[in-house]
Every structure is written in C-alpha cells, then in structure tokens.
Amino acid sequence: MSNNNHKTAIEEKSLDPENWDDFAANAHQMLDLALAHMKSCRDRPVWKPVPEKVKEELQEPLPMDAQGARKTSDDITNLVLPYGTGNTHPKFFGWVHGSGTPSGIIAEMMAAALNANLGGRDHAAIYVERQVIQWCREMFEFPDSSSGLVVSGTSMASLIALKTARDKALGVAVRNTGIGASGARLTAYASEQAHACISKTFDILGLGQNALRSIPVDASYKMDVDALRSAIKQDIADGNQPFCIIGTAGSVNTGSIDDLESLSEIAKEHGLWLHVDGAFGALGWLCDELRPKLKGLNQAHSIAFDFHKWMHVNYDAGFVLVRDGKAHQQSFSSRPDYLAAEERGLAGGNPWFCEYGLELSRGFRALKVWWQFKEQGLTRIAEKISDNCQQAKYLTSLIERNSKFELMAPVALNIVCFRFIAAGFEASELDKLNKEIVIRLQEQGLAAPSTTLLQGKLAIRVNITNHRTRMQDCDELISECNDLGTQLIVENKKIAID
Ligand SMILES: *Cc1c(COP(=O)(O)O)cnc(C)c1O
C-alpha cells in the first residue's frame, strides 16, 4: 500500500501566513508604529473621546470571511490606537494607572511567540515566573516557604489571599463541605477607605459583604485602630468568629496607609490573618523614605499588589504573596487524573501554578514583569516612585500657596485631592464646578485627573503613578484648573443673569 492511500481529500492548510515575507513587512511596520506611538505620547492630547463614526466602524457583522492581516492592522491603527485612556501620557492623573514602557511591547510580543501556557508542566517560562516569585519574596522579606502567583491584578490577588485565609480559618475540608457546614460566622475588618474589590471578594467567597466590617478612619484616612479593637471584641461577644484584618497600604482615595504595625499586633493577639492591599503603595517599601510609613508590611500573612501600577509593567499584571505557602496550595490544588504530576517528562515541573489560583490555562504575564525587573532594576524603579511622591508634595505646595485652591486631604504618598474654590458658591455648586473642571480638562485633552468624594465634598483627585510626569506638568495642571475655574465662574454668572 502506498502512503498516498492514507491521504484524505482535506486541504491541510494552517493558519500561518501564505507569504511570510509580506507578513513580516507588515509586522515590522506595526512594531514601528507601536514604538512611535509610545515615543510621541507627550505630543498628543491626553485623551480624545471615541468619535461616533469610530464606534460605528467597530461594530461589524460576525466576520465569516477572511479580511487578512493588513486590513486588521489598519483597523487597529485607525480605530483603536488613537483612542486610548491616555495613561501613557505624562499628564494622565486619573484613578491609579501605571504608564507602561516601550519594553512591554517587546515582552508581550515574545510571550506571544512562545504562546506559553503557565498552568504548569516543565518549560522555561515556569522558571521565569518562579524567579519573579523569588524576587517578590526578597523584596518584602518573606521566607522561602512563602508562595506567590502572577495574576491579573490586585482584585484577583486579594481573592486568592482571602480564600486561603478563609480555608485556613475553617479548615481545608470547607472546600468540600461549603461554608455553611461548620455553622461558624466568619467576620473580617477593613477600613471604610478599603478598595471595593475587598467587599466583592467577600461576596464571591460566600461569606457575604456584611461579614466585612467597615471600620472608620481617623483624620488622616487611616483605619481607626481603637474602633478596630472594639469591633473585634463585639463580634467575639456576639459569637462571631473574627478571622482576618485587611490593611490598606495606599488607599485609592487619598493614598493613606493604615498603621500596619498595629494591625499586625492586633492580628497576632487574636490569631487573625493580616492581608494587606498594597496595590500601588506596597512598592513604596523599595524607597528608604517611604519604608517607615509601611512598617509592619513584611509581617503580613499575605500581600496583594500590582506590577501594572507603580512598576509600570504594561497591563495587566499583579501579584499575590502568601506567607504560608502550604496553606495557599491546599486552598487551590486539585489535580485530577488528566493533570497528574510526574517526576520526569513534560508533566514534571511540580508544583504547578494552577495549584495556587483559579486559572488552569495562564499566559506568560511573568515575562514582562521579569523584563521590567531586569531592564530597569529596582533602584531605578524606586527612584521613580520617590519622584512621584516629590511631585505630589510640589503640587500640594502649589495648592497651599494659591488662595483659589483648597487641599482636601493630607498627602501621604502620591495622591493629591484638592478643589477650586469661589466666593459665593454653595457646597453643591462648588461640587458641580469642580466636576466640570475635570471633565473639561479631559475633553480638551489637557490633563486627566479624576474625581472622588471626601466627607461628602467633590474633590479633584490627582494620582501620580507616572514615570513620565515632571514638576512642570504640575505647574501646568494648576494653571489649567485656574483658567477653567475662572472661566466657569464667568459662565455661571451669565447663566444667573440670563
Ligand atoms: C487598583 C487597586 C485595586 C484593584 O487592583 P486591580 O489591579 O485593578 O485589580 C485594589 N486596591 C487598591 C488600593 C488599588 O489602587
């Protein structure tokens, strides 16, 4: 029988390009475009609203027929690339966004070239992530027995850490019995300034958001430690089972840092798990002048933080670090027959990362993180974190010197909350005025701060996690806010007269 007889009539054409030379030419053009886009970020408006026409063009019927790489590339160039959030721009100050680096483009591209799946098995990518984990242990002085995982962000990291804490409190059998079986009513404690991802986690864990006690803050927006003590006492008296304290190192509203040392002591006293949401603030640990504010961070049972914020790794990448690596693994490991561990061969490389989180298939986020550590070095990254805090101080000084502005919260790190004030304006009118200033700054592409509410008042909120920002950008921002505020007063008077 000839080999030919085994051939079937199917056309065994892969999805690879028919003409690799054409494909490569287009790919090189796209890389140049990507680099030019990052290089020129300062020259563009910070943000441009997505035009209606573009939104329409981004809606097309399910593509059954091939449009090809060129057409698809053109669509990215024309419809997507020009309309980003603007967080690569030096005057992007909204929420807490990192600003990315051009190197992220290369790392993402190389990760795609490998098309690695880091759920487990024995291949180089696994050792890259293990190295990142080891570096994170060293950064926060965690023992070798601690564990970690590169995840999408702090929301996922906190979920993993708090699931581990829950299972440790109830016993790992809770994975089978469910949380109702023991009859225990677990309670946990976070400040009222804690990020919303924490209460979401309590929902997901089946404990309910009410099980997370919201502890008031003091004048500097730190958790009120006495109120925490009383809440724990009250819960014990009521027959509840406190199991966890969640400290915030860098709150989203004001950048405040809870007194982690006291939280750690209270946790020890009551045998509770201390989790720290350090999404951006934890990395302040790298800076000599910020480390004292974070005292106690290295005592936590778990830390969640983001590489995509103050380490400027391109989105998305976060990390969970868990002191008790065994408890972490016990909380997530399940290895059915088709994922059995082997001593040798491709199914080696134990333990697998899928035993430490929710996902089985996992991309190679660790590569861009590893790259950032290596290319920039932590000293340089720490310098940029310090720079941002200096810039926040400078911006604060501009506000304090100018009678048209009012500082709305103490500045602990890199977040400055302030507002434009105008004589004769009622509280609600000032809220409207400041909200309008922020919207116009964004719409005119001048700068992109965001807003928040502090004690019921609307604040212009400037967060600087941006390695491209300069002091000059702070000067410009204040002068732009001043111009817009003055202009709005005039408009408002006109409206009042009309
Ligand atoms: C950004 C942030 C989060 C959420 O992190 P993601 O990476 O967006 O999931 C949680 N807590 C704080 C303090 C944050 O700044």
Distance in angstroms (rounded) separating the CA atoms of residues 99 and 69: 28
Q: How confident is the model at residue 11 (pLDDT cuts 50, 70, 90)?
A: confident
Q: Is residue 408 pLDDT above 60, yes or no?
A: yes
The burial of 85, by beta-carbon neighbours within 10 Å (0-12 exposed, 13-18 middle, 19 or more buried), is given as middle
199 neighbors 213 (Cβ within 8 angstroms):
no
CA proximity to 198, closest of 161, 170, 230:
161
Q: How confident is the model at residue 495 (pLDDT cuts 50, 70, 90)?
A: low
C-alpha count within 13 angstroms, C-beta hemisphere, residue 297: 29
Q: Is residue 182 pLDDT above 60, yes or no?
A: yes
Q: Which helix (H) or strand (E) holds 453?
A: strand 450-454
Q: Which residues contact 20 (CB under 8 A, 6 or more apart)?
A: none
371 neighbors 396 (Cβ within 8 angstroms):
no
* pLDDT (tens digit per residue) in 138-169: 999 999 999 999 999 999 999 999 999 999 99
Q: Whose CA is nearest to atom 7 of ligand 1?
A: 153
Ligand 1 atom at shortest distance from the alpha carbon of 158:
10
Task: Among 85, 87, 95, 96, say which to mutate for ligand 1: greatest number of ligand atoms within 8 Å of CB.
Answer: 96
Phi, psi of 451 (to 5 degrees): -125, 160
3 state DSSP class of 20: helix
Sequence-separated contacts (24+) of 217-222 with Cβ below 8 Å: 217/191, 217/192, 217/193, 217/256, 219/410, 220/256, 220/410, 220/412, 221/191, 221/193, 221/251, 221/253, 221/254, 221/256, 221/409, 221/410, 221/412, 222/191, 222/256, 222/257, 222/258, 222/259
Overall average pLDDT of the 378-387 stretch: 98
Residue tagged 């921002």 (tokens): 477
* pLDDT (tens digit per residue) in 421-430: 998 899 999 9
Q: How far is the CA of 373 from the centre of ligand 1 (A)?
A: 21
Question: What is the percentage of the chain residues whose pLDDT exceeds 90?
Answer: 93
Q: Is residue 393 pLDDT above 90, yes or no?
A: yes
In sequence order, what DSSP letters do the residues of 349-372 get, joined into one string?
Answer: SSSPGGGGSS-SS---HHHHHHHH
Q: Is residue 5 pLDDT above 70, yes or no?
A: no
Task: Among 85, 95, 195, say which to mutate for ligand 1: greatest number of ligand atoms within 8 Å of CB.
Answer: 195
DSSP state of 318: E
Distance in angstroms (rounded) separating the CA atoms of residues 255 and 274: 19
Q: Is residue 1 pLDDT above 50, yes or no?
A: no
CA proximity to 401, closest of 412, 391, 393:
393
* Predicted model pTM: 0.96
Q: Is residue 59 pLDDT above 70, yes or no?
A: yes
Lining ligand 1 with CB less than 6 A are: 96, 153-155, 195, 197, 250, 252, 277, 279-280, 306, 318
* pLDDT (tens digit per residue) in 339-381: 888 899 999 999 999 999 999 999 999 999 999 999 999 999 9
